[in-house]
Amino acid sequence: MCGRLTQYRGIHDFVAVLSIPDALINHVGDAPLNRYNAAPTTTLAVLHQHEQRMYADNLRWGWRPHWAKDRPPPINARVEKVAHGPFFRAIWRNRLIVPVDNWFEWVDAGDKNKQPWLIRRADHEPVFCAAIGQFPTPGTDAREDDGFVIITAESVGGMLDIHDRRPVVLRPDLVREWLDPATPVERAEQMLLFEGEPSEAFEWYKVGKAVGNVRNQGAELIEKVA
């Protein structure tokens, strides 16, 4: 996963798919998010649960432990290591969801250039990426090093032609279980390893190279090119 994604619908459009029984505690606003070219270090909308309430908050994409100041904050965590390695131990239990519309990958075009591709669900529904992070909860203050990482797995099927890694995407009916603090960590790991959406759930197509510049924004970036 190369590290570029979109969040352009409104947070209520994402949450509506989840059939949440209680009202969302919304700290990101009601307007469309309109992020067509979000890069690492960007502040993105995330979903997390505290006790029995779901919250929508803005959080920076990227996190590292306090003792790893000699390296840039990672934006992704490999599913093969995230549950047991020391690097993400402090946030492994802090589960969240990054709701996105699409993500982008770049493929070698054979002419010393790379062709960007957009990947989205084949049914065009929201994509719920499993993530972990450090974030404030009710009664606690935000910290300068708050942030999140998206959990990735090896690509399978046709998606291998686009990139060898992919975000772990959860079905809507699994999102609440993933977010629930009462879900055991063993069950959470099982969900990541065995219950992510298969490549058949997605489609992909070429988009214009303007998406390579993070300063470019707008709906034209997600349009299909020949």
Instruction: Tell me phi and psi for residue 175, to 5 degrees.
Output: -60, -45
Of 51, 80, 105, 203, the catalytic one is: 105
Known catalytic membership, residue 195: no
Of 2, 144, 177, 223, the catalytic one is: 2
Known catalytic membership, residue 129: no
Strand partners, 153: 166
User: What tokens appear for 159 in the block?
Assistant: 């998606």
Smallest CA-to-CA distance from 59 within 67, 47, 71 is with 47
Quote the CA–CA distance of 165 and 66 in Å, as a whole number: 27
Buried/exposed 177-198: b ≥16 CB within 10 Å, e otherwise: ebbeeebeeeebeebbeeebbe
Residues in the chain, total: 226
Active site residues: 2, 105
